[in-house]
A and B are shown apart, each in its own frame.
Chain A
Amino acid sequence: MPEEHKIRVVLAKLGLDGHDRGIKVVARILRDAGIEVIYLGLRQTTESIVSAAEQEDADAIGLSMHNAGHLVLAPAMMAALDDADLDIPLIIGGIVPDVDVPVLQAAGVAAILGPGAPADEVVAAVRNAVAAAAT
């Protein structure tokens, strides 16, 4: 009996950033859309996220950033994924000023979700990023 392939997403906060309300909301939105969320929690490193993504065979990685560190942290995460030869899409959520969006896109971030993004937009961003990576 062919079952649809469940999407598995690793969610984490990278670095020193304790604002985890948003990421918990996102975890719940994804769960309610039938997605399996592997939740790593606060104060993760690029190494711990790469390691978890490998072990969990993640289809996507979602990082929440509320500490204005995204211009450093997002490219650092992309570099860590490249170093590990992991072709997994990275999605950033949180406070990213409009002017920084093209910068992150140029760095290879698959999608950027701002404050107030509706649930269906969050789910669509994950599904689209996973579908694009599979082709």
Chain B
Amino acid sequence: MSVRSLPPDELVDAARSGNRRAIGRLLTLVERGGAVADAITDLTHPLIGGAHVVGITGAPGAGKSTLTGQLTRILPEMGLTPAVLAVDPSSPLSGGAILGDRVRMDGVAGEEVFIRSVATRGHAGGLALSVPGAVRVFDAVGFDPVIIETVGVGQVEVDVVGAADTAVVVVNPGWGDAVQANKAGLLEVADVFVINKADRPGANDTRRDLELMLDLSHMSGQEDESGYRPPIIMTTATDGSGVSNVWDAVQAHRAHLDATGKLAERRAARLRYEVANRVDAALGARITAALDGYDLDPDRSPAAHAENVVGLITLS
């Protein structure tokens, strides 16, 4: 019998004994959602060992995949067993996707590294809904760290913060000026900054803009009360320059989380976020069901209708 058709509990056993097809299958089933995905979540949750989850985010073309690929080359040399979730967008029209992150990791990631490409499947925010479940599978199987590479994001897609212990934001020389750096959004949530393509002109200007932004965070009291200041690392990911410094910075951030008790705080917030998303999805289905049987009289106010529908849901 093919590994692909094993029931969830046997798949989990096979995955934990190192069967890569079983791991791949579990990720597929988690991604599909529904009762089987829930069963896998129930099975894997008690097995998690607290893998460090690193989110890598930034604009399209910033070098997230190349940086991730280089990290997966140096981490096994340190005795670590990284897994990667590489998220790319689904077409809003067809639902299909071209998942091309592996191209940038080609020949970089060794055999011991597990890379999985994930399509957003209609979810905005830079990640796919299945990401927490997939991270849990990797953790339960024994991978550590788990690296989540988001889709190319703009300014407000900060889902990665809810999913990761350490958020790495990748920017490039010439990406903007000091005003851009102080706008709200992505830059506020970085634990580590990477200026990739640092061999290009303008890298030092970008560094100065980011330092200034961090100075202002300090002045306005927005800085972490323990004084943690996100470091700025310069890299040229295509040739690997600076990549080990990125990992050192991630480690330093992890040490900060451990020392201040913030790791537990972040993970509690992550669990709450995941549960909220699940409740949201479950209630969404009940809202749709309630509306399907509800007579929407156009002469009545939408506010009155909404109150009625809410009443129907809580009664059911």
A residues sitting closer than 8 Å to B (CB atoms) are 1-3, 5-6, 8, 27-28, 30-41, 44, 48, 51-52, 54-57, 86-87
Enumerate chain B residues within 8 angstroms of A51, measured Cβ to Cβ: 20, 111
Q: B100 to A39, Cβ gap below 8 A?
A: yes
Interface contacts (Cβ under 8 Å), in number, total 81
Number of B positions contacting A (CB below 8 A): 33
Pick the contact of B98: A6, A37, A56 (CB < 8 A).
Answer: A37
Residue-wise, chain B 109-129 has the 8 Å CB interface mask toward A (1 for contact) of 001001111010100000000
Enumerate chain B residues within 8 angstroms of A30, measured Cβ to Cβ: 96
Q: B99 to A57, Cβ gap below 8 A?
A: no
Residue-wise, chain B 209-228 has the 8 Å CB interface mask toward A (1 for contact) of 00000000000000000000
Task: Report the separation of the CA atoms of residues A42 and B99 in the bound assembly, to the nearest whole angstrom.
Answer: 15
Enumerate chain A residues within 8 angstroms of B103, measured Cβ to Cβ: 39-41
Tell me whether A39 and B98 are in contact in the complex, defined as CB-CB below 8 angstroms, given that A55-B20, A57-B25 are known contacts.
Answer: yes
B residues sitting closer than 8 Å to A (CB atoms) are 2, 4, 20-21, 23-25, 27-28, 32-34, 90-91, 93-100, 102-103, 106, 111, 114-117, 119, 121, 285
Pick the contact of B99: A3, A39, A48, A54 (CB < 8 A).
Answer: A39
Tell me whether A54 and B24 are in contact in the complex, defined as CB-CB below 8 angstroms, given that A1-B285, A3-B32, A40-B106 are known contacts.
Answer: yes
Known: A1-B34, A1-B285, A57-B24. 14 other contacts (CB 8 A): A3-B33, A5-B32, A31-B97, A33-B96, A36-B117, A36-B119, A37-B98, A38-B117, A39-B100, A40-B106, A44-B106, A51-B111, A55-B116, A87-B2
**Chain A at the B interface: SS class:** mixed
Q: B27 to A57, Cβ gap below 8 A?
A: yes
Pick the contact of B94: A27, A33, A55, A57 (CB < 8 A).
Answer: A33
Enumerate chain A residues within 8 angstroms of B117, measured Cβ to Cβ: 36, 38, 56
Tell me whether A34 and B96 are in contact in the complex, defined as CB-CB below 8 angstroms, given that A39-B103, A57-B24, A57-B27 are known contacts.
Answer: yes
**Chain B at the A interface: SS class:** mixed
The 10 lowest CB-CB distance pairs between A and B, nearest first, are A57-B24, A31-B96, A41-B103, A57-B28, A34-B95, A34-B96, A34-B94, A39-B100, A54-B20, A36-B97
Enumerate chain A residues within 8 angstroms of B94, measured Cβ to Cβ: 31-34
Task: Report the separation of the CA atoms of residues A36 and B86 in the bound assembly, to the nearest whole angstrom.
Answer: 13
Q: B96 to A35, Cβ gap below 8 A?
A: yes
Enumerate chain B residues within 8 angstroms of A37, measured Cβ to Cβ: 96-99
Q: A52 to B102, Cβ gap below 8 A?
A: yes
Task: Report the separation of the CA atoms of residues A95 and B23 in the bound assembly, to the nearest whole angstrom.
Answer: 36
Cβ of A34 to closest chain B Cβ, rounded Å:
4
CB closest chain-A residue, reference B118: A36
Task: Report the separation of the CA atoms of residues A2 and B121 in the bound assembly, to the nearest whole angstrom.
Answer: 14
Task: Report the separation of the CA atoms of residues A1 and B35 in the bound assembly, to the nearest whole angstrom.
Answer: 10
Task: Report the separation of the CA atoms of residues A38 and B117 in the bound assembly, to the nearest whole angstrom.
Answer: 7
Query: Can you pick out 18 interface pairs between chain A and chain B where the beta carbons lie within 8 Å of each other?
Result: A2-B34, A3-B32, A6-B95, A32-B94, A32-B96, A36-B119, A37-B97, A39-B99, A39-B102, A40-B106, A41-B106, A51-B20, A52-B102, A52-B115, A55-B23, A56-B117, A57-B21, A57-B25
Cβ of A123 to closest chain B Cβ, rounded Å:
10
